[in-house]
Structure 1
Amino acid sequence: MIEAGTLFILGAVVVGSALGVVIAPNAVHSVLFLIVNLLGLAVCFLLLNAVFLAAAQVLIYAGAIIVLFLFAITLLSPSGEYIAQDPRTAQRTVGIVISVALGALLLFLLFGSITDLGAPLPNGGASYGTVEGFGRALFQQFLFPFEITSFVLLVALIGAVVYGSNTLDEIRQGRLPRGKP
C-alpha cells in the first residue's frame, strides 16, 4: 500500500510539473519543470519494476533532450525576451473552464471504473522490465510501428536539412534578412 501511495504522490508531482511546463512564462523555467516531470516519470517506472525504462528516461530524456532544449532556447532567444501578456483573457478563461470540466469528467470516469486499488500488477515473467523484455517487445511485437517512426524521423531530418540549407543560401544571396527564416 505504501507503493500505491507513493505512486499517487508522484503522479501529483508529475501532473503539477507538467502544468508548470505549460504555464511558466519563462522558457528556461519551463525546461526546469520538464526536468522534474521526467525524473518523476523515471521514479514511477522504478516503482513499476521497469528498471530499463527508468534508466532510459533519465539518460535520454532528462539528460540529452533537456540539454538540447536549453541549447535551442539560448540560441534562439539571446535577449531573454518574455512573451507579452495575452489580451484575449475571455478566451483564456473559457479555455480554462473547459479544461477543468474535461479533467473532472476524466477523473469521474477513471475513479468510476476502478473497483480495487490494491490489485497486484500482473506478472510479466522473469524478463519484465529488463533490457531483454524491452528488446523483445520492440523488435517483435512493435517492429512495424518502430520502423514507421524511424522513417518519419528520417524524413523530418532530411526536411530540416533541406530547409536550413535553402534558407542559408537565400541569406547569402541577400534575399532574406538575417535572422528571419
Structure 2
Amino acid sequence: MGVRSFGYSAQVRPFLWVFLVLTPLEILLVDLLVPWFWLRAVLLVFGLLSGLLLGWMLWMLYKFKHEIDDEHLWLRYAREFEYRIPLAAIESVTQGMTSWSLNKTRSVVDGTLVLEISNSTNVSVRLNEPQEIDLGRRGVHEVTKIEFWTDSPDEMVRALRK
C-alpha cells in the first residue's frame, strides 16, 4: 500500500498566509509612524521574528501531515505532537462533522482523543483495544476512540477501511 499523506490545515492556512503577507506592511507602517529609531529597531526585530514564525508554522503544517502506512495511522499537528495508532487496533471508522469547544489542538474527553482544527473534527476512529496517549503535562490517558480533522475525510475513511 505504501505511505499515504492527508493534510489537516486547509482551514487555518489562509489566515496564516494573510498574516504573513500583512507582516511586511506592518513593518513599513511602523517605520513610517514611529519617530524614535530605537523603538523602530525593536519593532522591526519583532516583525521579522513574527514573519519567520508564521513561515515556519506554514511549512510545518505542510510537511507533517497525517499518514497511513502498512501498519500505522500517524496523527500529527506540525511538530507539536505525533501519535502512532496500529491499524490492527482500529475497529471502525466513520465520517461526520463534530463540533467541539475545547480550544486545544489535543484533548482527551471521556476516553476519546480529540484532535480538533477550528473546533471541529470530521473523522471518528473506534479502537478495539485501549491505546495509551501521552498529553505531556496533562498526563497519559487511555483512549478507545479518536476524533480528528482531515482535509479529505472521504479518502481517509476509504484508506483506513482497506
Q: TM-score normalized by structure 1?
A: 0.28
Larger Rg computed on CA atoms = 1
Greater strand percent: which structure? 2
Greater helix percent: which structure? 1
Q: TM-score normalized by structure 2?
A: 0.31
**Structure with greater contact order relative to length (CA < 8 Å, sep ≥ 6):** 2
